[in-house]
Amino acid sequence: MKVLITGASGFVGNELSQRLICEGHVIYAAARSEQTDTTGVHHVLISNAPTAMEWQSILKDIDVVFHLAARVHIMKDNSANPLAAYLQDNVQFTTELARNAAVAGVKRFVFVSSIKVNGESTNTKAFTEIDKPNPQDPYAISKLHAEESLLAVGSDTGMEVVILRPPLVYGPGVKANFRSLLQVADRMMPLPLSCIANTRSLIYVGNLVDALILCATHAAAKNQLFLVCDEISISTPQLIKNIAFALGRPCMLFPFPLSILRWGAKMTRKGAFLDRLTQSLVIDNTKIRNLLNWKPPYTMEQGLKATAEAYLQNKNEIVHK
């Protein structure tokens, strides 16, 4: 299989590239800037505004496109018009790529969206594919519009489209909030979080990559939307305990009134971050399990162990430089 990956140098893209190479596929990675050479990956430089002719040259003989590149969610977006910026990068670019992929004869287009399209949190019912979308910020809105645009392109051209909505992805090399949890656990910092009683779904990068490849190759994945996550969901306190255990550190959690935590977060403009720590977000991945017979190949324990080992290795390399 000959594939094109956008965002191949990113956290998920790099893992996807390496897995596809191991399986003997030919990988082309499209990016707007020069990339570090990666064994087995053919790097393709694209302009800021690719023309149809440029796209056709890039997409020639490609069987499957994995579209991972996106303007990612930013906690404090300083753009003059954040929604317009997200729509430009996440909708317009995606639509142009898909249209040109269809013209070039690409059979299947696999798109990584976000569970944020469903909403920010769940109460008594887990998110499913049939839920009415409820995006709450410019990033999630742009992802929903991109999904809708892709389905329209697929309907018009006959190109097969598959959409996946993952939750927070973790694994070796993870950054942002999950890396912050690694650092806190590594430093054995006491945290006032033991009273939190929530449940959150996550996905290990190896599990997401496995689902992506299955969605690119399984006949029943044609024109489907899937919500994907690990085998189990977990509370924030238990996640921190598991991270600490994977790092070989004691866990330092103590009880503290959530109402006071919320007040403090509001005063320090950390309300959104605290919401992610304290609210529930549970995914029902029954559809992909039943329709494609998919089962996450890695347990959360295995995923956290690999994540912790990579974090410690990177930390030691920095110290010894």
Q: So what's the pLDDT on residue 76?
A: 54
Q: So what's the pLDDT on residue 198?
A: 95
The fold for domain 2-165 equals: Rossmann fold (3.40.50)
Task: Tell me the two tokens of residue 156.
Answer: 């018009």
Which string of DSSP letters, residue by residue, matches 126-186? -B-TTSPP---SHHHHHHHHHHHHHHHHHHHH--EEEEEE--EEESTT--HHHHHHHHHHH
Query: pLDDT tens across 63-120, in order?
Result: 999 999 888 755 455 666 778 888 888 999 999 999 999 999 999 999 999 999 999 9
Q: Is 70 exceeded by the pLDDT of residue 317?
A: no
How many percent of the chain have pLDDT more than 90? 72
Q: Is 60 exceeded by the pLDDT of residue 319?
A: no
Average pLDDT over residues 306-319: 85
Query: pLDDT tens across 25-78, in order?
Result: 999 998 877 666 666 888 888 887 788 889 999 999 999 999 998 887 554 556
Q: So what's the pLDDT on residue 84?
A: 87
Q: Is 90 exceeded by the pLDDT of residue 11?
A: yes
Please identify every residue annotated as catalytic. 139
How many CB atoms lie under 10 A from the CB of residue 230? 21
Phi and psi for 193 in degrees, rounded to 5? -120, 5
Average pLDDT over residues 125-137: 96
Q: So what's the pLDDT on residue 320?
A: 53
Per the prediction, the chain carries an average pLDDT of: 91
How many percent of the chain have pLDDT more than 70? 94
